[in-house]
Structure 1
Amino acid sequence: MGGRNLHEKAFDEATLAKLEIFENYTKSWLPTFVMQSSPVICIFDLFAGTGYDINGVPGSPIRILQVIKQFIGEIFRKNVKSIRLYLNEYEEEKYVLLKAAIEKFLAENKDVGRIVTYQIDQKDFNVIYPELLPIISQFPSLVFLDQNGVKFTNIENLLKLEKTSQTDFLFFISSSYFKRFGETKEFSNYLKIDAAVLKSNPYKFIHEVVVKAIAQQLPTNTKLRLYPFSIKKQTNIYGLVFGAKHPRAVEKFLNVVWEKNPINGIANFDINEDIAKSGLQFNLFAEPKRTKIEKFNELLESTLQEHKCVTNKFMYLFTLEQGHPLKHANAHLKYLKKVGKIYYDTRTPKLGYKEAYKGDEPVSINWVNVK
């Protein structure tokens, strides 16, 4: 799919949103493997761009290096042997600028240069992707695919990542294209989505619909979980798709996106009109409408009432599956205990990953019959 050069002018608000999410997730992801003293850690940016926009604002490749710089002391202390950076930019002029930007950064930050080994290619995505897959499969890897269009988005490419065991990925997709061209043969070659489903949902939810369609085409027994983040730019809806198998990775991503948008954690705009719903509560004649967080609280409560007794691990996974940070569940569980609807015999419900998976014994969260 053709597209304009994103680096001919300053990054717009939508571009900055996806760059900030990627950067902040990298900040959460990298220390995990540094603290494990992983000898080799890999990061892939296969639609890398020039390194900076026209105003010198860093793009994804430079942001990766800046994150490595931030943790450089711990990286050396933990005896990480190498952080391998794989960059790809197909367009000649962009490739030249990218190469110069990386070389300049490493020349000015020699401590980063000591730990980073890098490879910059100028290849079509369909060539470079299969070449790098063996490396992605072998080492802890973070893959960022900031495509301009939908080139990566076919089920064959995703299934190759699904087979890896230590890979987290973020890819950008122009979801609004599916609304406009989804029934054409060109688009059906990328991803098959029921046109009726697209048309039956409001346009603002197009990215969520696309991500659900992708998830439905994964193996039924997969541990891979996909999470959308919609990005609105003028009248178009684009978005990021995050994928990971490890629940701790999902937890980190949800923290990042809910920090980006504390209203809904799923878009760079008020996609569910939660602000308007909050305002309606002061209108005695308006039907109360629940915000996303309020709906989650109600679902959490009804789930506890249905199951009667669950463990902290169950509640940990339930919260992630619903796309919420653990602090939402923690806060509501503490409230429910305070008002006497539930009981657990610990000070907190212990919803952290280590407590849920590696604690001495599970915490039982019990529904109390309320008359």
Structure 2
Amino acid sequence: MVETKIAPEKMAKMLNQWYGMIKRHQTAEAAALKEEIRSLLPHMDENQDLLIYFNLLDFRYKVLTEEKLEEADKAYCIIKGIGEENTDNMIVYYSLFFSGVYEFYKKNYVEAICFYQLAEAKLRNIPDQIEHAEFHYKIAEAYYQIDQHLISISHALKARSIFREHEEYKHRSIKCEMILGANMYDMYRFSQAEEHYQKALNEAKSSGFPKEVGIVYHNLGLIYDRKNIPKLAEEYFIKAIHIKEHLESINGVRSLYMIASVLYRNNQVAEARSWYDKGLEKAESLKEKEYEAKLKLIHALYDCHNDSLINEALQYLEQKNLWPDTSELNEQIAEYYLKQGNLIKAVEYYKRALKAKNQIMKVMEALA
């Protein structure tokens, strides 16, 4: 029997469909198509570029689904090598862009932006507007994480304007709205932040995206917390964790942390401790080191009053270059000691907060 060969053109079309599913976070469909592609690859006429493209997309898929991330760690070295050894513009672009996505996932935000900046030069020669939107969306996320709000907003607006023209990318359009809301929140423009979040919430509910509904509830809780309405903040964080898809994700850990934080700061120590225990258990099960550190910090500050544990947690956050969070937490610690009448410790942590803010400026100078 003569074996039927798969034409490279057909395989290229399938790979493009697969990447579209990955970008739209259609994980079930992407998983099914991946298996179909994998079964057909041995029957394809030899084409090295398509094999490289498959490996690049498979790497991106692993990061999306958090599937066998120990394999993704190994594959990352290969992915970076592909970009260095290849001259095809699209392959080099994906190598750089996916490297940025990976570094962002690992919370190495500065490294992510460096890769995105390199990828941007190659993006100019790629005509697909959705690819441009995806780039702007991802770099907006990264700039937000290092408090570069105006740059983040600029990229988020570009991404949103493209995604809005394509109904099948409704999910991404909602995510852009959420980034805009997050930036406004960080800039203390609470009414504008609420407008973006309410718009995202309505669209997420009507489109059936429960994970995004949970994130918006969480983000609204952050606004009410910062506006010093603790009961309303707690209510929205609890609304978030009542959504199964939210609770089971990293976002669930963030909400558990915030419930504990709000309660600790309002002297409801016993109740806060219960939420701390739940949050720490969830963070440890997900190997979420950042929130393990943050949870241990607030527990050490408000509950067991252990300076060495506070400083150990801050040291971890500093090592990960999470300077915006480090600055905010140092201010929180300073305010606690100020209320306790311990001016020496309050001044010490205010100084550390200022040092963290200076580090943010140094990061931006390095990226300029």
Shorter-chain TM-score range: under 0.3
TM-score norm. by structure 2 comes to 0.28
Judging by fraction of residues, say which structure has more helix: 2
Q: Which has the higher contact order (CA 8 A, sep 6+)?
A: 1
TM-score norm. by structure 1 comes to 0.28
Judging by fraction of residues, say which structure has more strand: 1
